[in-house]
Amino acid sequence: MIHAVKYHPTLELLEQYIEASLAPELSLAVAAHLDLCPHCQRIKMDLEAEAGAALINLPEADSTETDWQQMLSFITAQPEVAVKLEQRQPFSLQIQNSEILLPASLKPLMQNKLKWLNLGGISTAKLAGEDQHNVSLLYIRKDSEVPQHTHLGLEITLVLKGKIYDESGCYGEGDLLINTPDHTHTPRTMSEDCLCLSVLTAPLKFKKGLTRLLNPLQHLFY
């Protein structure tokens, strides 16, 4: 079902993720990767166990006895709430005329109908994002190339379906690519269409000519 994931988030990124220090949009990409990657699921649980152990080894921070008593009485006076453990199920979505199975993490962002912008072989639909962060789906038809570009910020791409290639390798389902500002790349597809989740922390800057033509792309991506 899932191809062996080759490209994972670094431990550092996972550590920031499990303690919620990472920007939420970046956390979303990590969460969706986790849905697809048993290896990182295990590391996530291990890191959380370590953080839990660190928590109980912290020296106690005091408050007055009254403060604690008030808090305790307030809490135990609260009614029980109905709780159920959620199932983490992938869901399917009609994208560009094909039914594609997507990781559960993305579901909350898919409540509205996707608005696709198309240009050449590439289509994007923005899912979320404000300020400095942007989350979108990127659908690249087969034999298409994304013009060479660099990033002003961090770009995280998670392959959801198909394969994408760049100067450093081939990425399949579940693979997470992280590109920093000093990294130029030209992603392309070969014989199959590719769907990616893309998280950008700042707009792209395209390197090669045809600036005027590529300007619309800027809007596509960001």
Partner 1 sequence: MLDPTSVQRHDGKNYQRAGIQGSMSVQPQDNAQWEQALTFIAVDRDKQAYSQLFNYFAPRLKAFGLKMFGNEQQAMEMVQDTMLNVWQKARLFDASRGCASTWIFTIARNVRFDMLRKKQSRKDELSADDLFFDGDYPEQEGSDSNEWDLWLLAEKVAPHFSRLPPAQRDVMEKVYLEEKSHQEVSEELSIPLGTVKSRIRLALDRLREAIDDPRS
Closest Cα partner for 37 from 171, 200, 134?
Answer: 171
Determine which residue in the list 100, 102, 109, 140 makes contact with partner 1, applying CB under 8 A.
109
Q: Counting beta carbons within 10 angstroms of the beta carbon of residue 57, is it exposed (0 to 12), middle (13 to 18) or buried (19 or more)?
A: exposed
Interface positions, 47-86, toward partner 1 (CB under 8 A): 47-63, 67-68, 71-72, 74-76, 78-81, 83, 85-86
Options 8-16, 94-102, 140-148, 207-215: segment touching partner 1 (CB under 8 A): 8-16
* Least distance from partner 1 to the Cβ atom of residue 102, Å: 13
Q: How far apart are CA 194 and CA 141, in angstroms?
A: 6
Q: Does residue 21 interact with partner 1 by CB under 8 A? A: yes
Q: Which residues, in sequence order, are CB contacts of 146 under 8 Å at separation 6+? A: 122, 140, 186, 187, 188
Options 30-38, 158-166, 192-200, 206-214: segment touching partner 1 (CB under 8 A): 30-38
CB-CB contact of 189 with 144 (8 Å): yes
Determine which residue in the list 3, 6, 38, 219 makes contact with partner 1, applying CB under 8 A.
38
Q: Residue 113, SS3? A: coil
* Least distance from partner 1 to the Cβ atom of residue 29, Å: 10
Interface positions, 122-161, toward partner 1 (CB under 8 A): 128, 130, 132, 153-154
Structure tokens at 85: 């453990």
